[in-house]
Chain A
Amino acid sequence: MKNIAVFGYNRLSFEAISRLDKELYQITVIDHDPAKAALARENGFETANIDFRSDDDLKLIGIGAHIDTLFCFFDTDSENVFLTLSARALDKALNIVAIVDSPESAEKLIAAGANKIIDPYEICGRKIHDMLKRPDINDIFDHTVFGRHDLHLAEVAIPENSYLENAHVSQLHLSSQYNLILIGIVNKQVSERLHFVAEEFDRRLSVGDILVILGPSREIRAFKKDVENEFCKI
């Protein structure tokens, strides 16, 4: 179970929270506007009434302790920067996701210690550009990966004693055995960079590598189960 603190309750945070699986994530919503906090409660989210400007209050809800991820979704950039800065000071390992309103603030948020910046306008602009330039591919993604069809991206880490350890990529045959497509591999020991399968030479998998796969959820589950099963053989 992961713990997420969401600061600022608006359309964006509502959308983000409702996409997250309730059974895997414990979510707390914080908003300094009592009306919005009440709305969040009405929608069935757990809320906390604290002042984000005070470090003690932040500690109170578990930043620096059990909170793993922080969403800074306030409407103004200055509040997000302040919150990011305070939270980063309390917890070095915290995963901080922040939104920006004006593009100049992105650098400030990064400097303040945010892990991921989300610019809704930029994303929207890129998306519309994609709709114009590559309508087919855009449609596929909208309907499958981001949409209601059962086609998902997933990442699978190779555990110790897995049958995949020391196997070659070419031996996997994911597309015929599982109806999955292997997109790429991250070799955690070397770097965070994703290596796309198609362009790489045949490589040997090791423990800790992450496979990025695309396919129906049933197949993904089956594959994950087999990966963790040390008696499964190719």
Chain B
Amino acid sequence: MLAKLIVYCAYYLKSADGYRRAKLFFYDLLENSHSRKKKYFDATMIGLLILSVIFLIYDIEHEDSKMGGYFELAILMVFIVEYLIRGWIYSDTYKVIIEEYEKALYLNLDFNLLGVFRKAFVRDIEYITSPFAIIDILAILPSYRPLAILRIFIIFRLFKLFRYSNSAKLFADALASKRFELMTLLIFTCFLVFIASVSIYMFEYQATDSGIHNLFDAFYWTIVTLATVGFGDITPQTTGGRWVTIFLILASLGVLSFFTSILIAAFSEKMLSVRESRTYAELDRYDNFIIICGFGRVGQEIARHLHNDRQKFLIIDRVPARIDLAKKRGYLAIESDASNNEVLINAGICRGASAILCITGDDVINVYVTLTSRHLNKNLRIISRANRHDNVNKLYQAGADNVIRPFEIAGLLAAEFVGQPVAFEAISGILHNQTETVMESVLVSEKSPLDNQKIGQLDLQQRKLTLLGVISDNPIHLKHKNKYQVNQQHFYFNPEVDFILRHGDMLVLLGRKYGIDHFRDQVEQRRLFSRQPK
């Protein structure tokens, strides 16, 4: 009976929208490093922590301060709630229950409630014993006043700071990457300390006025000397002791420089990936950006245009000199190999990217990147460059939406220029926005005043616009002549005056930029006004 109730509850939670949303909200707040909420939350918590430590220290100096007590209590509540919520979002108990229940149902076994609880409990223990959770608990403890000894855990409250910034992780990672070198150095240093401590002890123990009375003094002196601190509270008195000192100082110079060089190497290596992750972090803020693979001449040209349009984009190239050039121009750029899945995923191919351009000079790379991108994201727009004619079909097969052939386009334009220079200049001027006259499309939206209107009624001549044609996928227009198949749609060239527009159609207009914009605005305004009376 109880088991049934629990399973029912589990199913209820699974379908409950509010529950799921609440969980998602807290996940965004506490764990999702891509979320903006987490950043604000982390900043608030850091502020609270510092305040709480200040109050605790104040408490140590002044017993019985009332204000500090209340504040401490409030902070404590926040910490406890945070701890519990983290535990809550760490595991989905209802999922465990449902899974076990369905398994039991499938295998025709009895539903073992105890087993389920054990599993859920194991997950909870997993959370409780995770390092950050332990720090969290230790940060809560010092508030328990009756046990004064727990005050020592204030330090742990400070450790909690690391939870809200990833600088500590960075530092630890940098050191961990040099584990082998550091280990070697540590062993060497241990030997050095051991030898120096024992020798100074032997020489100095019996000397008069010597500060070394036991082995710990000798060890203390060795460390102070080794670190080149040299307080001078203990100084060697015997000649033997002084020789040991000379030897130790020379050796310690080597140890320190070795240690410093390891650290510098570790951090400079780490800085590269930090800078890369900063680039990624900046991308996180944008939707709808474009990934450009290859920053050669073509890539530079596109980047220049996109930059002018204020469109966000990311450049990936393997050549350091090109990445330097891109950065110099203020573009986001990563020196990496775009054929690597991980690089593309980090670049946000499944998150915010709307298109990827594979435009390196090497067709092999272009095909490979196209294939990888299509595999990672089915809906992405992929434009690829084919440097050889035979590779066009391969790129389409690999999943490219558009394939462009630089040399063929240039050849075509050269031929066009020889044949009809005037027409050529006209069309290339329009196409590339070099003239004031542009070609743009205007959409006939639903309930727009253009809907169901005849072309003849549009009064385009008065507006100084030329209608070239209509793009539409509406089968109702198919009876008209002069249609040209363009992808899944038709382009109706020079439509007759009794051509009736339907919503979803697109007018292709030629005219001044502001003329077209004005026309579009007017249509939109009239659409909005005509809706109001309803």
Contacts and interface: CB of A to CB of B under 8 A. Distances in A.
Contact of B409 (A25, A123, A215): A123
Contacts of A14: 411
B493 A215 contact: yes
Contacts of A186: 422
B299 interface: yes
- The CB with the most chain A CB atoms within 10 A, among B422, B461, B508, is that of B422
Contact of B466 (A19, A153, A197): A197
B296 A194 contact: no
B16 to A, nearest CB: 42
A121 B298 contact: yes
Interface in A85-116: 95, 97, 99, 102-103, 116
B261 interface: no
A123 B482 CA distance: 30
Contacts of B250: none
Interface residues of B, number: 74
A168 interface: no
Interface string A202-224: 00000000101011100000000
A25 B418 CA distance: 10
A199 B437 contact: yes
Given A12-B407, A128-B359, A149 B484 contact: yes
A155 B418 CA distance: 12
Interface in A121-172: 121-134, 136-137, 139-141, 143-146, 149, 151, 153-155
A65 interface: no
Interface string B477-512: 000001011110001011001000000001010111
Interface stretch (A30-38, A44-52, A176-184, A225-233): A176-184
A121 B512 contact: no
Given A125-B305, A153-B423, A179 B414 contact: no
A12 B404 contact: no
B196 interface: no
A133 B308 CA distance: 12
Contacts of B306: 129, 132
B406 A123 contact: yes
A25 to B, nearest CB: 8
Contacts of B304: 125
Interface string B353-385: 001010100000000000000000000010101
- The CB with the most chain A CB atoms within 10 A, among B309, B482, B484, B487, is that of B484
A13 interface: yes
A181 B494 contact: yes
A143 B383 contact: no
Interface of A is mostly: mixed
B411 A136 contact: no
Contacts of A215: 493-494
Nearest to B290: A132
A141 B402 CA distance: 14
A196 B439 CA distance: 12
B468 interface: yes
Contacts of A129: 301-302, 305-306
Interface string B416-458: 1111101111110101100101011100000000000000000
B301 A126 contact: yes
B471 interface: yes
B512 A199 contact: yes
Contact of A20 (B302, B383, B410, B415): B415
Contacts of B494: 175, 179-181, 215
B430 to A, nearest CB: 8
B3 to A, nearest CB: 58
Nearest to A133: B309
B517 interface: no
B276 to A, nearest CB: 25
Contacts of B420: 153-155
Nearest to B361: A121
A15 interface: yes
Contact of B385 (A124, A144, A175): A124
A12 B418 contact: no
Contacts of A175: 494
B465 interface: yes
A167 B377 CA distance: 58
B178 interface: no
A181 B466 contact: yes
B409 A153 contact: no
A120 interface: yes
B506 to A, nearest CB: 6
Given A121-B297, A124-B404, A154-B423, A196 B437 contact: yes
16 contacts: A99-B410, A120-B409, A125-B304, A128-B357, A128-B385, A129-B306, A131-B402, A136-B441, A136-B506, A137-B439, A181-B494, A183-B426, A183-B466, A194-B435, A212-B422, A212-B423
The 4 closest A-B pairs by CB, nearest first: A125-B301, A15-B411, A121-B297, A19-B415
Interface of B: 290, 296-302, 304-306, 309, 311, 355, 357, 359, 381, 383, 385, 388-389, 402, 404, 406-420, 422-427, 429, 431-432, 435, 437, 439-441, 461, 464-466, 468-469, 471, 482, 484-487, 491, 493-494, 497, 506, 508, 510-512, 515
Given A192-B422, A199-B437, 17 more contacts: A2-B418, A95-B418, A120-B410, A121-B296, A121-B297, A122-B297, A123-B409, A125-B305, A128-B383, A129-B302, A129-B306, A132-B355, A140-B469, A144-B484, A153-B420, A181-B466, A184-B426
